[in-house]
């Protein structure tokens, strides 16, 4: 089934011979090892060489770190590995996905809000420049999911659009940019996220479109990228019942499996109908969307048998390696299927020219590599994208522009979602301090008289347990005249940071109060502006606000641009939401 002369491999006779001779000369353990992508627990040389020598891995994804540290890790890996490795980064938003000192360009939705392929190309280009500098050759991007469900907490900022044509256009541009540096992209998450409201990290997930609906949405995107020579695809832990039953009419509800374990979706739909000849890698194998489907000893070989070529991450290396090998010995993985997987893995390595290079030639010289990280012409892109993307979603009151003469006294109100330390650890670099504090300080510098609201929850933390109990008992008694608000402030500015990563929902978390300023009930009493610096879908929880803005992140540059645009007026906001910020609700428009 593997045509190494065709896209995406395009190999000549010499390269094909290397692929096949390398496979023929492998031991069974080496063949099994090639199926694994390791997530390194350490960058220590003894650990890295131990993994290579014991498990013979085919690829690597690594924990975040600075460029110099990642370069050294990758040098060790490539010079110590018998067969060169695919080394993947997660450059979803720029080079910061390859190294922590890399360049952030923008989340997918931020790029989508510009409606301009230039910025998608630049995001790919910068990702490629910085990832290749530190020795990466593969990336788990672009994200080509289509955001059709505002309740979905995992791709709310990580989808270009709800329009498949725009998703395809921007994904193509990203792919073109990153491949200029020799990085092979892996589009994700097949068969497509953004329909279900569940996060496959935490539960099963379903793409519930009919076959006809899938064909003109996700199918159109994947087919377009495949036709362009897409090298690899990441399969998601997402079911697609319509196509699973199309190819297997006898399949009942108990037989539905996520794509990572589904022959119907990988072999019949992706390989057969769409004609994908490239490599398929599973999404991370610790996600409940996969682990909830069957016992781990079974799902390891089942994923390869279904059509995956690479298995993402060991749980326990000894257990997983043994179970994968046993699956081959038991016939779950056939000789033909194992050889196909190895040909695709080695085929991409040959596509990268590994068969013609010495191991010490697989990374640029360290000084040259470090000089490519954070180039001024690349870091400037962040502001350009922010200027082009920031979106005034709703403005049905005459409140903008802001000016100290008009709105000198401003009450700044922080708004948050459920506590989410995971999102902080994997974010794009925004401060752990709530952005409302930063906005308040910068408004003071611009001549405004600023008060930052302290919520009841914040106040409770300063009280003794007895005082906390008294305060909570009186929570509904704490009413105050509206004049207390209107006499002291000219405008209320709510700054919301609501993130749903690794949480079942992505919604505003209001304090257990009524009548306090945390919830903007007072929009008819005093001019009110609501700014979301994270989730683009907060409007569903504050439909009454008359001015609502999406910035898509809370980086320093973004907050500075926000204030410039607030003072410039409505015409300064250039972005257009690429998804439904009104969340399908009629009242959010009013």
Q: What is the reported pLDDT for 250?
A: 93
Identify the helix (H) or strand (E) that includes residue 550.
strand 547-550
List, in order, residues 6 or more apart from 254 with CB less than 8 Å away.
none
Q: Write 303-306 long-range contacts (CB < 8 A, 24+).
A: 303/260, 303/261, 304/35, 304/333, 304/337, 304/338, 304/341, 305/263, 305/332, 305/333, 305/334, 305/337, 306/257, 306/260, 306/261, 306/262, 306/263, 306/265, 306/266, 306/267
Distance CA 232, CA 177 (A): 16
Q: What is the reported pLDDT for 421?
A: 58
- Residue linked to tokens 């989508």: 112
Structure token digits, residue 585: 């609700």
Q: Which residues of 358-385 are buried (b: 16+ CB within 10 A; e: fewer)?
A: ebeebbbebeebbebbbeeebbebbeeb
Distance CA 173, CA 159 (A): 15
Q: What is the reported pLDDT for 204?
A: 92
Q: What is the reported pLDDT for 20?
A: 97
Distance CA 514, CA 477 (A): 9
Asked if 162 is an active-site residue, the reply is no
pTM reported for the whole predicted model? 0.95
- Residue linked to tokens 């290397």: 18
Residue spans of alpha helices (H) in 218-334: 218-227, 241-247, 263, 288-291, 296-306, 317-329
Q: Of the listed 268, 283, 309, 518, which one is catalytic?
A: 283
Tell me: cis bond preceding 496? Omega within 30 of 0 counts.
Answer: no
Residue 339 near residue 23 (C-beta atoms within 8 A): yes
Q: What is the reported pLDDT for 512?
A: 65
Residue 293 near residue 257 (C-beta atoms within 8 A): yes
Where the chain has pLDDT below 50, the residues are 425, 427, 429-430
Structure token digits, residue 430: 């925004």
Closest by CA to 516, choosing from 460, 462, 449, is 460
Sign of the four-CA dihedral 194, 196, 197, 202: negative
Provide the β-strand partners of residue 206. Answer: 239
């Amino acid at each position: 089934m593997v045509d190494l002369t065709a896209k995406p491999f395009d190999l000549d006779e010499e390269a094909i011979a290397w692929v096949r001779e390398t496979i023929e000369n492998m031991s069974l353990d080496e063949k099994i090892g090639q199926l694994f992508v390791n997530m390194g627990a350490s960058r220590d040389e003894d650990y890295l060489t131990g993994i290579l020598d014991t498990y013979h891995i085919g690829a690597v994804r690594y924990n975040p770190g600075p460029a110099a540290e990642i370069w050294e890790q990758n040098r060790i890996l490539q010079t110590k590995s018998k067969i060169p490795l695919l080394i993947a980064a997660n450059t979803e938003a720029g080079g910061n996905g390859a190294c922590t000192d890399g360049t952030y360009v923008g989340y997918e939705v931020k790029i989508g809000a510009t409606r301009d392929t230039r910025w998608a190309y630049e995001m790919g280009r910068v990702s490629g420049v910085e990832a290749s500098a530190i020795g990466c050759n593969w990336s788990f991007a672009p994200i080509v999911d289509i955001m059709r469900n505002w309740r979905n907490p995992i791709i709310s900022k990580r989808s270009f659009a709800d329009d498949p044509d725009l998703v395809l256009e921007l994904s193509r541009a990203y792919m073109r940019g990153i491949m200029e540096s020799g990085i092979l992209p892996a589009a994700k998450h097949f068969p497509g996220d953004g329909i279900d409201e569940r996060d496959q990290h935490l539960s099963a997930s379903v793409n519930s479109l009919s076959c006809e609906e899938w064909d003109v949405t996700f199918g159109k995107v994947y087919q377009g990228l495949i036709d362009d020579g897409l090298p690899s695809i990441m399969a998601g832990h997402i079911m697609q019942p319509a196509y699973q039953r199309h190819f297997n009419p006898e399949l009942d509800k108990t037989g539905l499996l996520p794509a990572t374990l589904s022959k119907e979706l990988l072999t019949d739909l992706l390989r057969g109908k769409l004609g994908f000849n490239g490599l398929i890698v599973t999404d991370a194998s610790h996600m409940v969307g996969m682990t909830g489907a069957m016992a781990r000893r079974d799902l390891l070989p089942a994923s390869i048998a279904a059509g995956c070529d690479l298995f993402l991450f060991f749980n326990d290396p000894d257990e997983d390696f043994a179970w994968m090998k046993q699956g081959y010995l038991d016939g779950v993985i056939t000789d033909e299927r194992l050889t196909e997987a190895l040909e695709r893995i080695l085929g991409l390595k040959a596509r990268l020219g590994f068969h013609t290079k010495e191991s010490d030639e697989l990374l640029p010289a360290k000084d040259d590599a470090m000089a490519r990280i954070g180039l001024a012409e690349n870091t400037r892109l962040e502001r350009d994208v922010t200027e082009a993307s920031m979106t005034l979603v709703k403005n049905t009151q005459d409140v903008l522009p802001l000016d100290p003469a008009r709105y000198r006294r401003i009450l700044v109100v922080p708004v948050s979602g459920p506590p989410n330390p995971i999102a902080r650890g994997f974010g794009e670099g925004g401060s752990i301090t709530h952005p409302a504090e930063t906005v308040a300080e910068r408004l003071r510098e611009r001549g405004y008289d600023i008060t930052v609201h302290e919520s009841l929850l914040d106040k409770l933390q300063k009280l003794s347990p007895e005082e906390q109990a008294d305060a909570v008992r009186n929570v509904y008694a704490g009413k105050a005249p509206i004049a207390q608000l209107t006499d002291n402030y000219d405008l209320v500015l709510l700054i919301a940071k609501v993130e749903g990563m690794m949480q079942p929902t992505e919604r505003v978390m209001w304090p257990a109060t009524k009548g306090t300023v945390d919830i903007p009930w007072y929009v008819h009493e005093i001019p009110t502006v609501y700014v979301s610096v994270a989730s683009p879908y907060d409007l569903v929880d504050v439909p009454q606000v008359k001015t609502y803005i999406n910035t898509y992140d809370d980086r320093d540059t973004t907050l500075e641009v926000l204030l410039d645009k607030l003072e410039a007026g409505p015409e300064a906001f250039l972005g257009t939401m690429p998804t439904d910020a009104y969340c399908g609700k009629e009242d959010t428009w009013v």
